[in-house]
């Protein structure tokens, strides 16, 4: 027979889940993103070639490749950080992008505290407003006065997500978003992508994360792209 459960003996969970939610300031139009014969080659390595892509509203596309750095370089190319070897791409005029790069170190070469750091990216400079977005990513109290330059890898990603939420995007570009995050943060991020009404490009080695959040999978191969799903 089961012993009677004493409610007073139950230990409350100490797990905390971030409050990740991406809200669109404006809904995207019919033209989102397209590419034609897009190719990038560097130092004898072909990272992607003949990428012909037409994105539909609400698509959540996961990109994969056996070539190291291929997807990262694709994201850098479409964000304007790298120049393609050939081909072209075009963003729709109504697209408001928020980008989570694989390497975010350039954003944190600063001695600003987290409130001042995040304020750089906010149109609303009220401290209480900025603190709200830090709080959603579990930065509260004295933690908001930490210097950006001393953050851990996971804390940097959480700050970047705060920045992205501030942008009210309708298109997310996420390069390995689960890196450095704990299980609770990964779960919250996963749910936020699933619930997001906009469009998503993402890459991740977390199979469960990809299969639960993406409706299309595109693989870059040495010859051309291939599509699954």
Average pLDDT over all residues of the chain: 92
pTM: 0.90
H or E segment to which residue 123 belongs? none
The verdict on residue 84 lying in a domain is yes
Place of tokens 């989102």: 32
Residue 177 and residue 132 share a domain? no
142 and 42 both lie in a single domain: no
**56-111 pLDDT, tens digit each:** 999 999 999 998 899 999 999 999 999 999 999 999 999 999 999 999 999 999 99
pLDDT digits (tens, 9 = 90+) for 100-148: 999 999 999 999 999 999 999 999 999 999 999 999 999 999 999 999 9
Counting the structural domains of the chain, the total is 2
Indicate if 54 and 154 belong to the same structural domain: no
Task: Tell whether 117 and 145 lie within a shared domain.
Answer: yes
- Whose CA is closest to 172, among 59, 65, 77? 59
Question: Rounded to an integer, what distance in angstroms lies between the CA atom of residue 157 and that of residue 155?
Answer: 5
Do residues 171 and 32 touch, judged by C-beta distance below 8 A? Answer: yes
Domain of 55 in residue numbering reads as: 27-96+171-229
Residue-level pLDDT at 14: 55
- 190 in the same domain as 164: no
Query: Would you say residue 41 lies in a domain?
Result: yes
């Amino acid at each position: 027979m089961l012993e009677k459960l004493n409610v007073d003996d139950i230990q409350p969970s100490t797990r905390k889940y971030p409050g990740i939610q991406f809200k669109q300031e404006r809904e995207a139009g019919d033209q989102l993103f397209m590419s034609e014969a897009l190719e990038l080659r560097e130092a004898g390595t072909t990272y992607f070639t003949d990428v012909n892509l037409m994105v539909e509203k609400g698509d959540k596309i996961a990109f994969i490749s056996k070539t190291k750095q291929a997807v990262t370089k694709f994201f850098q190319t479409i964000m304007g950080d790298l120049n393609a070897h050939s081909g072209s791409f075009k963003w729709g005029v109504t697209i408001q992008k928020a980008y989570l790069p694989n390497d975010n170190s350039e954003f944190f070469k600063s001695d600003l505290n987290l409130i001042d750091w995040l304020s750089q990216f906010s149109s609303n400079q009220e401290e209480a407003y900025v603190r709200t977005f830090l709080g959603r990513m579990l930065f509260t109290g004295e933690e908001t006065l930490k210097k950006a330059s001393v953050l851990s890898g996971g804390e940097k990603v959480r700050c970047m997500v705060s920045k992205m939420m501030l942008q009210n995007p309708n298109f997310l570009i996420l390069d390995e978003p689960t890196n450095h995050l704990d299980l609770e943060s990964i779960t919250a991020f996963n749910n936020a992508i699933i619930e997001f009404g906009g469009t998503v490009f993402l890459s991740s080695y977390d199979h469960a994360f990809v299969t639960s959040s993406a409706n299309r999978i595109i693989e870059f191969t040495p010859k051309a792209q291939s599509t699954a799903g």
